[in-house]
Amino acid sequence: MSEERQIPPPRFQLGDPRWLLELRYLPWPADWAACFGRNGPLHVELGFGDGSFLAALARRMPEANCVGVERALEPTRWALKRLHREGLENVRLVLGDAFAALAFLFQPGSIDGLYINFPDPWPKARHHHRRLLTPTFLQLAAHRLRPGGTLLIATDDADYALWIAEALERTPGFQSAFGEPWVHALPDREPTRYERKALAAGRTCFYFIWRRVGPVPCPSLPHMMRPEETMPHRIWQGMPELSQVVAALRGRIWQDGGTIWRVKELYRSIEGEGLLIELLMAEGQWVETVALRFQPHGHESWILKPAEIGGLRPTEALKMGVRAVASAIEEATPGLRILSSTI
């Protein structure tokens, strides 16, 4: 007698490639039509939390390509389970920073709807610089929205609402969909997890819907948010004295406006000659540590280049950091002659 066995459905995987994408491994800008396998209006939610709002968007607009960006892993896990459970095919989740995602992944004028629900308000004045909704961010949002596209923001923090209203008023190319900056209720809205808690606690919510109208200039972006075409490097003819290079680099700090580069740690190669330079880059709320290699490169020549560790992508800040380290190496080794350089 043969026993009929049911094959269990495939288990849910966090890294299910159907839904989860990583900011640093996507092309900049991303080819969303290729990611979704079709063209469609692009709707983007930043800081999607448990994903309930994003899932509702995707259900309501099956023709739309819906992208969510979240930097925290735990909510991303919840959202992935939700998408898996509901079998929603028109959603992609990007793990990464919302500002960086907006800057790197989306072409100017490409987004139909941009949604930011209950962004962290950072109520203390000394933490205001960590707020997502800065004037530069809002300019970038306007620049990435298509003409006529809408920005929706919801918050339950009155102080943040005033800050957002003032910043929106000053952003060229935005106009409120209402006669006033915000309204306190939006009909037919799927409340988010955070919103349900705020409403249950009796807090007032502020809803902004602003349209992109007219031309929008490209904002001046932070160095860490400006993509570069190629990886920066420099090659020299000559033989550096490594102890002098180490002395020149140890603990070095460079600053350019609000951007700081600091040599965190230096490692000598065990196998041969060469250094690994751990370089911290910081600008506003963004901090990134990258690794650079300084090593022999053919006959009596040396190269400085980013190490292939952690899927590093080229940005203007990285190029500037490599340039600063290269200058310090040159100061420590006057005989070096540049053979090739992209910095």
Residues at the site binding ligand SAM, with contacts judged by CB under 6 A: 47-49, 69-72, 75, 97-99, 117-120, 132, 192-195
User: Minimum CB separation from ligand SAM for residue 97, in Å?
Assistant: 5
User: Minimum CB separation from ligand SAM for residue 144, in Å?
Assistant: 15
DSSP 285-308: TEEEEEEEEEEE-STTEEEEEE-S
Residue 290 to residue 312: CA distance in whole angstroms:
8
User: Minimum CB separation from ligand SAM for residue 17, in Å?
Assistant: 21
User: Quick check: helix, strand or coil at residue 92?
Assistant: strand
Strand ordering across the sheet containing 20-22: 20-22, 91-95, 65-70, 42-46, 111-117, 145-155, 206-212, 174-176
Q: For residue 293, which amino acid is it?
A: R
| Beta strand residue intervals within 156-238, DSSP E | 174-176, 206-212, 234-237
User: Minimum CB separation from ligand SAM for residue 80, in Å?
Assistant: 14
Residues 6+ apart with CB under 8 A from 323: 232, 343
Residue closer to ligand SAM by CB (options 54, 263) is: 54
Residue closer to ligand SAM by CB (options 101, 277) is: 101
- And the tokens for 156? 């339950």
CB 260 within 8 A of CB 285: no
The sign of the dihedral angle between the CA atoms of 160, 166, 171, 177 is: positive
User: Minimum CB separation from ligand SAM for residue 320, in Å?
Assistant: 22
Residue closer to ligand SAM by CB (options 85, 130) is: 130
Residue 113 to residue 43: CA distance in whole angstroms:
5
Residue closer to ligand SAM by CB (options 48, 254) is: 48
Residue 174 to residue 164: CA distance in whole angstroms:
12
- And the tokens for 327? 């200058």
User: Minimum CB separation from ligand SAM for residue 64, in Å?
Assistant: 18
Residue closer to ligand SAM by CB (options 44, 329) is: 44
Residue closer to ligand SAM by CB (options 225, 322) is: 225
User: Minimum CB separation from ligand SAM for residue 48, in Å?
Assistant: 6
Residue closer to ligand SAM by CB (options 120, 278) is: 120
Residues 6+ apart with CB under 8 A from 340: 233, 234, 235
User: Minimum CB separation from ligand SAM for residue 186, in Å?
Assistant: 13
Residue closer to ligand SAM by CB (options 121, 173) is: 121
Residue 14 to residue 73: CA distance in whole angstroms:
10
